[in-house]
Chains A and B, each alone.
Chain A
Amino acid sequence: MMFDLECDVYMGEEDMERQSLNVFRMRLLGARVIPVSSGSKTLKDATNEAIRDWVTNIENTYYIIGSVVGPHPYPEMVRDFQSIIGREAREQVLSLEGRLPDSLIACVGGGSNAMGLFYPFLNDTEVEMIGVEAAGMGLDTDKHSATLTRGRAGVLHGAMSYLLQDEYGQVSPVHSISAGLDYPGVGPEHAFLNITGRVNYGSITDQEALEAFQILSETEGIIPALESAHAVAYLLNNKEHFKDLTLIVLNLSGRGDKDVNLAARLLEVE
């Protein structure tokens, strides 16, 4: 048990299967991983269950979450922790290239890696920023999680942001090939950055992400997480836009080791 602290992690049953390597890692580090079988069996439902545990065991339990969602001050805390990504990226690009990048690209589910990359660059107005959501099986199907693209204002998990929901405010079941993007909400600060226009948000389908996953593996020998593969696919899909933007920081926020089983299964079927 690290730091002699008991750690319970709630994870959707479906995600435990999709991310079994991560489950193994967490257990190896001494955490207890508790499967959540309610609702869509993914991140949203795991968050519900973690909050229920928290309010039950409030006297001896601290709640933490890895994404920039949930009640204040969690989105702010997670952003600040994750902003090590942007601080290092900014320092390194300045020292290597002597200038700021033209463009930043990162995938957005709840949006922690993107917030972490973007935040230290927000005042550098010449730096373009692009967040990439999961279009799943297509934006015109009901199987995507492109919250900023297709959602509207709502309140979930103690924060107001964009939300994928039906006409009467019932949260929609969502889908993405990648567990990390499979969430019907998005961090409230992304909602703000979307409204102010400081960040542009696009989306990438499961299929496009899977192709980018292969391309980056073949060309660079880097196996990206399926989440991060959405950012790679955005770059590949928008070559024209990036033609004159020669210095781009793309956030490879996760390794694809955890996704190779899933990818192998999907690619073999084809």
Chain B
Amino acid sequence: MRIKNKFTQLKENGEKALITFITAGDPDLDTTERLVLEMERKGADIVELGLPFSDPLADGPVIQKSSQRALEGGVRTPDMFQLVRCLRKNTDIPLVILTYYNPVFSFGLKAFVKEAASAGVDGLIIPDLPLEESDELKKITSSQGVDLIYLLAPTSTDERIKRTDKKAGGFIYCVSITGVTGVREEFSSSIENLIKRIRKYTSLPLALGFGISNPQQAGLAAYYADGVIVGSALVKIVEQHGDNPDLLIKKVGEYVGSLKEGIPGQFSDFPI
């Protein structure tokens, strides 16, 4: 319920959601914990934590390398739950795990979702799990009160958007462009069409991600969407300053602050 409550509260205040992504355990788990708290302090509304996977098909080079660093540091599924448990002592911010299907499948769908829910995870994003294959997991997440968050892309047909709406929870992750995650100079101008097309068929909040890397792009995205997701741009800062946690936390905090300022308060049109 934390995700739903957050979007409702933001809407009431005339604000849009800033959703930030970092990989759990890059550069290390303690620093990830501090980063989450700092991002919240600087204006992040929801935090996505990447549970690293060896073969992140939907990710560009920045997050691929980050996942690799975390895995080499020994980060595995139980560490992720432990991290969330620690975070929950200090924050009530909605936390979403982004990972791929195999780590979830390998842990056992039921065991994974149960552990996640009891640790305090609010949502789950699995980019390589297609809608058609998601029934089993969806049943489990629903029973555990975890939102299974679905992705829609510019290539998604109206028919698919309708079917996704029937299953989706939390918010819909709208992928701004065809492709993988990463920092891009140019930010697709077709997002207006994408958001409007998806909005026709769903009353869930729409968060836009992929390729959004600076305050100006975030502002543009927030003009149409209810939330803005930024990942690679932050992970790049982790890559640059991973060896100096104090500086890293300061830099990430500043960047999140600038993103928040770039997102002006606007009307969100999803019904409460």
Query: Interface residues, chain A, CB within 8 Å of chain B?
Result: 38-39, 44, 48, 51-52, 55-59, 153-158, 163, 165-171
Q: Specify which of B77, B78, B102 is in contact with A163 (CB 8 Å cutoff).
A: B102
8 nearest CB pairs, A to B:
A169-B106, A56-B179, A169-B103, A169-B102, A168-B76, A171-B54, A170-B54, A168-B77
CB < 8 Å A-B pair total:
66
Binary A-proximity of B57-80 (CB < 8 A = 1, otherwise 0): 110110010001001000011100
Asked if A58 meets B102 with Cβ closer than 8 Å, knowing A38-B64, A39-B54, A44-B55, the reply is no
Q: Say yes or no for B255: interface residue by CB 8 A criterion.
A: no
Q: Specify which of A55, A167, A170 is in contact with B71 (CB 8 Å cutoff).
A: A170
Q: List 7 A-B contacts (CB under 8 A).
A: A52-B60, A52-B179, A153-B105, A155-B105, A156-B55, A169-B103, A169-B106
Q: Which residues of B contact A44 (CB under 8 A)?
A: 55
Q: Which residues of B contact A154 (CB under 8 A)?
A: 102, 105-106
Question: Are A170 and B53 interface neighbours, CB within 8 A?
Answer: yes
Question: Are A55 and B178 interface neighbours, CB within 8 A?
Answer: yes
Question: Are B128 and A158 interface neighbours, CB within 8 A?
Answer: yes
Number of interface residues of B (CB under 8 A): 25
Q: Which residues of B contact A171 (CB under 8 A)?
A: 54-55, 102
Question: Are A170 and B128 interface neighbours, CB within 8 A?
Answer: no
Q: Which residues of A contact B104 (CB under 8 A)?
A: 169
Q: Which residues of A contact B68 (CB under 8 A)?
A: 39
Q: Say yes or no for B37: interface residue by CB 8 A criterion.
A: no
Question: Are B128 and A39 interface neighbours, CB within 8 A?
Answer: no
Q: Say yes or no for B201: interface residue by CB 8 A criterion.
A: no
Question: Are B102 and A156 interface neighbours, CB within 8 A?
Answer: yes
Question: Are B179 and A170 interface neighbours, CB within 8 A?
Answer: no
Asked if A55 meets B106 with Cβ closer than 8 Å, knowing A48-B57, A168-B76, A170-B71, the reply is no
Q: Which residues of A contact B60 (CB under 8 A)?
A: 52
Closest partner residue, chain A, to B179 (CB atom)? A56
Question: Are B102 and A165 interface neighbours, CB within 8 A?
Answer: yes
Question: Are B106 and A165 interface neighbours, CB within 8 A?
Answer: yes
Q: Specify which of A58, A169, A170 is in contact with B178 (CB 8 Å cutoff).
A: A58
Closest partner residue, chain B, to A163 (CB atom)? B102
Query: Interface residues, chain B, CB within 8 Å of chain A?
Result: 53-55, 57-58, 60-61, 64, 68, 71, 76-78, 101-107, 128, 155, 178-180
Q: Which residue, of B64, B68, B101, B106, has the highest number of chain A Cβ atoms within 10 A?
A: B106
Q: Which residues of A contact B53 (CB under 8 A)?
A: 169-170
Question: Are B179 and A55 interface neighbours, CB within 8 A?
Answer: yes
Closest partner residue, chain A, to B53 (CB atom)? A170
Q: Which residues of B contact A59 (CB under 8 A)?
A: 178
Q: How far is the CB of B54 from chain A (nearest CB, A)?
A: 4
Q: How far is the CB of B77 from chain A (nearest CB, A)?
A: 5
Question: Are A168 and B106 interface neighbours, CB within 8 A?
Answer: yes
Q: Which residues of B contact A155 (CB under 8 A)?
A: 101-102, 105, 128
Closest partner residue, chain B, to A45 (CB atom)? B55
Q: How far is the CB of B83 from chain A (nearest CB, A)?
A: 15
Q: Which residues of B contact A48 (CB under 8 A)?
A: 55, 57
Q: Which residues of A contact B71 (CB under 8 A)?
A: 170
Inter-chain CA distance A219–B87, complex, in Å, is 68
Q: Which residues of B contact A169 (CB under 8 A)?
A: 53, 77, 102-107
Asked if A51 meets B57 with Cβ closer than 8 Å, knowing A38-B64, A154-B106, the reply is yes
Question: Are B178 and A56 interface neighbours, CB within 8 A?
Answer: yes
Q: Which residues of B contact A38 (CB under 8 A)?
A: 61, 64
Q: How far is the CB of B29 from chain A (nearest CB, A)?
A: 15
Q: Which residue, of A48, A51, A52, A171, has the highest number of chain B Cβ atoms within 10 A?
A: A52
Question: Are A39 and B55 interface neighbours, CB within 8 A?
Answer: yes
Inter-chain CA distance A268–B178, complex, in Å, is 49
Inter-chain CA distance A171–B60, complex, in Å, is 18
Q: Which residues of A contact B54 (CB under 8 A)?
A: 39, 170-171
Asked if A168 meets B178 with Cβ closer than 8 Å, knowing A48-B55, A52-B57, A156-B55, the reply is no
Question: Are A58 and B106 interface neighbours, CB within 8 A?
Answer: no
Q: Which residues of A contact B178 (CB under 8 A)?
A: 55-59
Q: How far is the CB of B63 from chain A (nearest CB, A)?
A: 12
Inter-chain CA distance A156–B53, complex, in Å, is 11
